[in-house]
Chains A and B, each alone.
Chain A
Amino acid sequence: MSGETVVRMPGTGPADDPGPTALEATGLSKSYRRNEALRDCSLSVPAGRVVALVGPNGAGKSTFLKLVVGLLEPTEGSVKVLGEPLRPEPESMARVAFLAQDKPLYPGFTVAETLRFGRIANPRWDQDLATGRLEELGIPLNRKVGRLSGGQRTQVALTLAIAKRADLLVLDEPLADLDPLARHDVLRGLMVGVADTGVTVLFSSHVVSDLEGVCDWLVVLNGGRVQLNGDVDRLLAGHRRLTGPAEGAGPLAERFPVIARSGTERQDTLLVQATEPLLPPEWTAHPVGLEELVLAYLRRPDAAVAVPPILSSAR
């Protein structure tokens, strides 16, 4: 695996225009005193996507999301949402909605008062959407937020974020602390809530199995750096799992960037960056799954060097 190898992903050529950019980060860094949470992150995400931001705990996911929504100011670099930096003005702030990790709400407010807060604080507020959604979920409007179950609280917080009618919906670990059934409900609710609105969803997660079938764009953040960034289908198409006799692994590893390698004495398995590899007859190529791909990258924080530039940039 050589750092100079550049693997062209299918469809990433200049002819394939991804459309308007929902989110663009340039050289984004954030330090807390001496601790560097995020280092020189650059990425851009096309509009209308459901973007999963994945990484181990402490990878800088929350910091990145807070920089995107303007809760933090970067030490260096900048963020643009739909081509413009976020400013502390109502029209600008109306373009981004945020659900923080602990789903903060005012526990003394009733659900109806929480919606009233959303209505007076947001010019694009969609009251019908909010009440309709909560009615469908069977959450009583006159109940105090502090007396709702964890799943219901998450749904109220999510409703507040969705009914803001922002262009970019940012969710920090929306599924954490929920049981599997509630996870499914929340995820489904989110997908229904944003369907046909053209809104870009950016959500972080450290549970990779939640992502399959939900997101169509993937960003992997590891150790404060962007390790992987791209369209999920294209990322999957650009990686192959190769299996074959152990003695043939060496020459193959010279030809393709290897992300993961495992195997026995007789048989080797390589996860490589390759599209349609021409292989020796005793070797076979298999498609990879999203979880397998993400885990392989997460186990190799240094693999960022091996990732060709085309992978860490949407253009």
Chain B
Amino acid sequence: MIWLTWRQHRGQILTTAGFLLAYGALLLVSSIGKSRVRECAASAVDACPWFTAGSTELYLLAEHSYGWISLLIPALIGAFWGAPLLAREFERGTDQLAWTQAVPPRRWLLTKLGVLGGLLMLGGLALSAMASAWYAAFTPARGGKWFSDLGVFHMVGVAPAFWWLFAFALGTASGALLRKMLPAMAVTVTGIVLAVYSLQSLSDHYAEPVRVMVEERMDHFQDVRWVGDAWVALSGAETESPPLDVCPDGPDVRPVGGVDGQAHCLLEKGYRFASYLHPPSRFWRFQWTEAGILLAGSALLFGFTVARTVRRTR
């Protein structure tokens, strides 16, 4: 059965492995180029070697890839690993071939889901390892936006592994439901985009945000996820928008010493400005919360797929 899984899905497996190798090569070459540019800039020599010319572009390409790879790759995995798994069998009628051999459909399906899901999680972890190494190489110890930049956050830690698994689960479930490859692929891509954006907006609620007063926030403002602001009165009461009855705002309120006029007025009257945010120490908590949500979603989708496939009504 493992041979069958390999034989039927080797195209996807090899393509994904090829992508990982190519992406790793891009990261490696761009990092070598970048360090040469640094050396070159540090040295007093005027003429830098020819190969540093394109390396800045390469570095920028690698840096910008973090934003879209974390969305694009799950969408492709859902569409090309997940959706065809059942939909192509139904479309070609080969479900009638596969499920009338002496392998019960449940075992056939669980083998495929297990082998392919496991490979995808390994692939996601490999991507995370490469992306983390590259990002760490170019950010100072206390710099970097590992937590606050969602593009980076979804490329490191355990996030890629669970996103890949979820995409695969969503693809197989829509294939089991729709039984046609193209509609299943379209639904899967749409679903992944929706899931990415829903979890991005949901992620503010993974934990209770921390309130940080403006005077102490300079120390804490590295790599945080900002949730909201508030004005805190002397009484401790908070308002989200500046209280207009205390200090008016308008075109005639002039800035004072580079600070917004209304804000200056409020600070004068004893108001304090606070921000609600998630500190970067919550990196792993957020990683595992997201992983848990994706794992639960995958389990539900896999359960649906198995139930739908084993209970044959058509």
A120 and B4 in contact (CB under 8 A), knowing A72-B312, A104-B93, A104-B97? yes
A93 and B100 in contact (CB under 8 A), knowing A73-B312, A104-B94? yes
Q: Is the CB of A117 within 8 A of B4?
A: yes
Q: Is the CB of A100 within 8 A of B97?
A: yes
Q: Provide the residues of chain B in CB contact with A113, threshold 8 Å.
A: 7
Residue A70 at the chain B interface, CB threshold 8 Å: yes
Q: Provide the residues of chain A in CB contact with B94, threshold 8 Å.
A: 104-106
Shortest Cβ gap from B179 to chain A (Å): 14
Interface centre among B93, B102, B103 (most CB of A within 10 A): B102
A71 touches which of B4, B92, B96, B104 (Cβ 8 Å): B96
Shortest Cβ distance from A166 into B: residue? B102
Residue A85 at the chain B interface, CB threshold 8 Å: no
Q: Mark A240-267, 1 if CB is under 8 A from B, else 0.
A: 0000000000000000000000000000
Alpha-carbon distance between A165 and B1 when the two chains are bound, in angstroms: 20
Q: Is the CB of B8 within 8 A of A72?
A: no
Residue B15 at the chain A interface, CB threshold 8 Å: no
Q: Provide the residues of chain B in CB contact with A70, threshold 8 Å.
A: 100
Q: Provide the residues of chain A in CB contact with B106, threshold 8 Å.
A: 88
Q: Mark B50-93, 1 if CB is under 8 A from A, else 0.
A: 00000000000000000000000000000000000000000011
Q: Mark A105-143, 1 if CB is under 8 A from B, else 0.
A: 111010001001110111110000000000000000000
Q: Is the CB of B100 within 8 A of A69?
A: yes
Residue B313 at the chain A interface, CB threshold 8 Å: yes
Shortest Cβ distance from A90 into B: residue? B102
Residue A94 at the chain B interface, CB threshold 8 Å: yes
A109 and B7 in contact (CB under 8 A), knowing A73-B313, A93-B101, A100-B97? yes
Q: Mark A153-193, 1 if CB is under 8 A from B, else 0.
A: 00001001000100000000000000000000000000000
Q: Which of A281-308 contact B (CB under 8 A)?
A: none
Residue B311 at the chain A interface, CB threshold 8 Å: yes
Q: Is the CB of A123 within 8 A of B97?
A: no
Residue B105 at the chain A interface, CB threshold 8 Å: yes
Q: Provide the residues of chain A in CB contact with B96, threshold 8 Å.
A: 66, 71, 98, 100, 104
Residue A102 at the chain B interface, CB threshold 8 Å: yes
Shortest Cβ gap from A262 to chain B (Å): 41
Residue B99 at the chain A interface, CB threshold 8 Å: yes
A32 touches which of B99, B100, B104, B314 (Cβ 8 Å): B314
Alpha-carbon distance between A120 and B1 when the two chains are bound, in angstroms: 7
Q: Is the CB of B102 within 8 A of A164?
A: yes
Q: Is the CB of A122 within 8 A of B312?
A: no
Alpha-carbon distance between A88 and B92 when the two chains are bound, in angstroms: 23
Q: Is the CB of B104 within 8 A of A93?
A: yes
B313 touches which of A72, A116, A118 (Cβ 8 Å): A72
Q: Provide the residues of chain B in CB contact with A109, threshold 8 Å.
A: 7
Shortest Cβ gap from B301 to chain A (Å): 22
Residue A38 at the chain B interface, CB threshold 8 Å: no
Q: Is the CB of A71 within 8 A of B312?
A: yes
Residue A52 at the chain B interface, CB threshold 8 Å: no
Residue A89 at the chain B interface, CB threshold 8 Å: yes
Q: Is the CB of B103 within 8 A of A90?
A: yes
Q: Provide the residues of chain B in CB contact with A116, threshold 8 Å.
A: 3
Q: Is the CB of A122 within 8 A of B93?
A: no
Shortest Cβ gap from B303 to chain A (Å): 17
Chain B residues with CB under 8 Å of chain A are 1, 3-4, 7-8, 92-94, 96-97, 99-106, 310-314
A-B contact pairs, 23 of them (CB 8 A): A66-B96, A70-B100, A71-B99, A73-B311, A73-B312, A88-B310, A90-B104, A94-B102, A98-B96, A100-B97, A102-B93, A104-B92, A104-B93, A104-B94, A104-B96, A106-B92, A117-B4, A117-B7, A120-B3, A121-B1, A121-B101, A121-B102, A123-B102
Besides A90-B102, A160-B97, 14 other CB < 8 A contacts?
A71-B96, A71-B100, A72-B313, A73-B312, A89-B104, A90-B103, A93-B100, A100-B93, A104-B92, A104-B93, A106-B92, A117-B4, A120-B1, A122-B101
The 10 tightest CB contacts between A and B, nearest first, are A121-B101, A100-B96, A88-B104, A104-B93, A98-B100, A94-B102, A93-B102, A104-B94, A90-B102, A104-B97
